Every structure is written in C-alpha cells, then in structure tokens.
Amino acid sequence: MKIIKWTPLIIFIITASILPLFTQQEVVLSLREGLPAIPVACPTFQISGDQPFVQEAAQTLREVLLADLKYSRVFVPLPESYYKYIPALNPNNIRFKDWESIQAKLLFVGQVKSNNDQKSIIFEGKIYDVKSQRFILGRKYQADRSLLRLAAHKMADEFMKMYGEPPLFTSKIVFVSNRDGNDEIYMMDYDGHNQVRLTYNRVRDYMPAWAPDRKRIAYTSFKDGQAILYILDLEKGTLTEVQNEGTNFAPAFSPDGKKLAFCSTLEEGNSEIYVARSDGSNIRRLTFNKAIDTAPTWSPTGREIAFTSDRGGTPQIYIMDAEGTNVRHVSFGGNYHDAPAWAPTGERLAYVSRVYLIFDIYVLNLRTNQIIKLTESNARNESPSWSPDGRHLVFSSNLKGTIQLFSIDYDGTNLRQLTFKGENKLPDWSK
C-alpha cells in the first residue's frame, strides 16, 4: 500500500459546511411506500433588510428547496396559484385553517436576513404540521452567498430525515468526463450543479466509486502506465494505491466501507472478482473460472454481491454470497445483460440489456421477479447507479448525440439531463 499526497484543490468545495446556528432533537415520522406525496406549502420567504443580495438569496433558497421537494417523490409543493386564495403568511400568528383549506399537510416558513458581516446570510426554516397545528422542527444556517444552494439542499434533507429517509439532496455524483481533453474524474451535485474536476493526471482515469462515508472515492488510473486501483480521500487530501499488479478496475465499496470488491487480472490473466480491505490489504479471490467476471455491486446488507459473467457463453447477471459461494443466475431472456446496480432498499437490481444493438436499462424486482424497462430509445443507455433513497437512478446515454449523464425515476419517469459539456460517463451516486 502506498499513500500519495494529493493536492486538494477543491477540498473547500467538497467539505464546505453550512454553519448550523441551532438544531433540535430529531423528529422521525411514519412514511410507507406507495402513499401519495405529501403536499407542502412553502410561501415566499420573509426577508429582514433591504439589501438586494438578501432578496436574491431568499429567492434562490426557495427555488432550490421547491425543486428538491418536487424531485423527492415524497413531497409535492403546492402550486403557486393556491396562495392567492388565503391571506399572506404572518409567521407570528399562523392561521393553520387557511393552510388546511388549500390542502397543505406541511407548512414551511422560511426567513432570510443579512449576517453582521454583510457577506453571508442567515437562513431559518421551520416546519409545521398543519392539521395538528404543531411545530415539528426548525433549522437555522449561516451561509456564504456561494453556498446558498447547499443551504437549501441541507434544509430539504431535513424534510427527508424527518420521515426516516436518507439525505438525498446533499448527495454527490462522481463520473468520468473528457471535457478538458482527457478522461478525468469529476464530481457534481445530484441535480447537475457545481461540477468540479477531481483528478489532473493527463491519462485515463475511470470507473469511480463512492465509499459510503462520502469522503473517499476508489477509481482506476493509468497515471503510472498501468491500470492501478487508487482510493482518493477528499477530506485528508491523500491518494492511496490499493492494487498495482495486473489490470484492476470496477471497484465497489461494501455498505460499511470496510471492504472493496474489484476486478483484476492479478493471477491468471482473465478478469476475476476479488475483495480486499479498503486499504488494499487481505486480498481474497471470489471467482474461479476461465470466463470474464466483472462489475461487482454489493447488496445493502453486505452479505451478497451481484456481478456480470459470461461463464454461460454470454454476459449475464449473477448473485453470489460475499464469500464467493452460492452463485446463482438471475437474468433471463436475451443474450446480453451487464452492469448490475443494487438498490439501497435491497429489493431492486438495475442492469443494462442489449437487444438488436440497442442498450437499455431495466430494473429487476428480486422479490417478485418483475422486470421494468426504464429507458425507451434508440440509444446506448448504460452504467446505472442508484440514488441514496432508491427512487432515482443516474446513467449515461447518447440520447442527444454525445454521451451525457441523465437521471430517471425508478418507474421510468422524470428523465433529466445533467451534463452537457464534452462526453460524460460511468457515474456513481453517493449513498
């Protein structure tokens, strides 16, 4: 194992924290899958002061928060037209019956003011249950103007955590892009904003994979002349060499972050699946055959690994126990299935299937064996990766001509393009 100092040019962007001015005890409410989205009233934020930048900040914060809630599929913001039917909000005397009359279940009250330094704002948000007229939680943040989107994302994540959901809106997507002339690793927000470059090797870097702590990224690089597996620690600014013998690729962290599955030609020259500690020690081989075994993905429990193998003659999806035993074939129909991605909820497996030279993304329900086709286009749709809550996926596609990244909901709706510059591929969504 070799640790290399990495110049952390964007560590501030990655780890910049919005200063919480107050918090309170966590509140977790009940939410069952399949229920209708929860209507949220989010009237115009209250503003203290007449500085133009405070007004602009309030508008940005509200727009981002509303976009996040709409994307969630858990919440649905009320249409703006509904607000004209009731009196304007008075945060000191909330008339809950008015908000109930326009079908709001939750009410968000936002207030924005300039901080004493005149360079940052203070954003306070409070969430109320309309029917019970009960205050649920409040958060207050101090944020620099450049971090307004992050402040709104953090507030939106409080909505998710309130119902026991993982933080979605502060999650990040890493990917490979050639926009600067060479395949390098980049990172962006879940919605495509704040795209930043992570590697500067002037050689091919590819197949990035997040660790569950959202601080480390494993990837393959040819910076030393061969396909070596590295782990980049964004917080410490270090680059750790994990495996340099053979050709090494397709890393995948275990759910607890302690192990790393990957593919390597380490022993016999063909691609096999190995697992090691996340520091590269204690390497163990899991697959033993002359076929190509690749693309490992862990189950949320860490007890199983799905992968691609052509041991039956064509690429198919298999699942094995984390020790390499109990291998079973789970993809049927068709002669090309690849790139499995296990949903964090456990019951779904996304993968790529090729039919008549068209690559589309499918989702297999492992409990019911039901298969849903997510993409419908004469394009090459590949490399699916799940969002932390399992309701969305990111993938690459040449749908618009060049290879770009898109997100889509688990039922095939709400297609969004996330990248536009250069060619972008091999995304991985932090969990």
Distance CA 358, CA 237 (A): 41
Exposure of 404 in the CB half-sphere (CA atoms within 13 A): 15
pLDDT, mean over the chain: 91
pLDDT tens-digit readout, 168-178 = 999 999 999 99
Of 172-176, 232-236, 383-387, minimum mean pLDDT range? 232-236
* Model confidence, pTM: 0.92
Is the per-residue pLDDT at 30 higher than 50?
no
Question: In this predicted model, what pLDDT tens digit does every residue of 300-342 receive, in sequence order?
Answer: 999 999 999 999 999 999 999 999 999 999 998 889 999 999 9
Instruction: Give the range among 56-65, 251-260, 373-382, 395-404 with minimum mean pLDDT.
Output: 373-382
Compute the residue count for the chain: 431
pLDDT at residue 12, as a whole number: 35
Q: Does the pLDDT at position 414 exceed 90? A: yes
Q: Considering the chain, what percentage of its residues have pLDDT values greater than 70?
A: 92
16-162 carries CATH number 3.40.605.10: no
Nearest to 39 by CA among 5, 83, 3, 2: 83
β-strands 424-429, 172-177: how paired?
Answer: antiparallel
Fold agreement between 16-162 and 172-429? no
Residue among 213, 193, 258, 210 nearest 419 (CA) = 193
pLDDT at 430 over 90: yes
Tell me, what amino acid is at 143?
A
Mean pLDDT of 40-57: 91
pLDDT score for 2: 59
Residue 14 has pLDDT above 70, yes or no: no
Band of pLDDT at residue 285, cut at 50, 70 and 90? very high
Residues 6+ apart with CB under 8 A from 287: 272, 273, 293, 307, 309, 320, 324
The residues spanned by each domain of the chain are 16-162, 172-429
- Residue identified by tokens 């091999």 is 426
Task: Give which of 221, 213, 232, 207 is closest to 339, Cα–Cα.
Answer: 207
pLDDT of 375 above 70: yes
Which architecture characterizes domain 172-429 according to CATH? 6 Propeller (2.120)
Residue 29: the pLDDT is 46
Section 111-128 average pLDDT: 90
Average pLDDT for 386-390:
98
How many Cβ atoms from other residues are within 10 Å of residue 277's Cβ?
15
**Rg from Cα positions in the chain:** 23
Among 296, 254, 249, CA closest to 270? 249
Q: How far is 22 from 24, CA to CA, in rounded Å?
A: 7
Confidence of residue 9 (pLDDT cuts 50, 70, 90): very low
Predicted pLDDT of residue 379: 92
Per-residue pLDDT, averaged over 406-423, amounts to 97
Q: Is the pLDDT of residue 384 over 90?
A: yes
Which string of b and e fits 223-258 if b means at least 16 CB within 10 Å? beeebbbbbbbbeeeebbbbbbebbbbbbbbbbebe
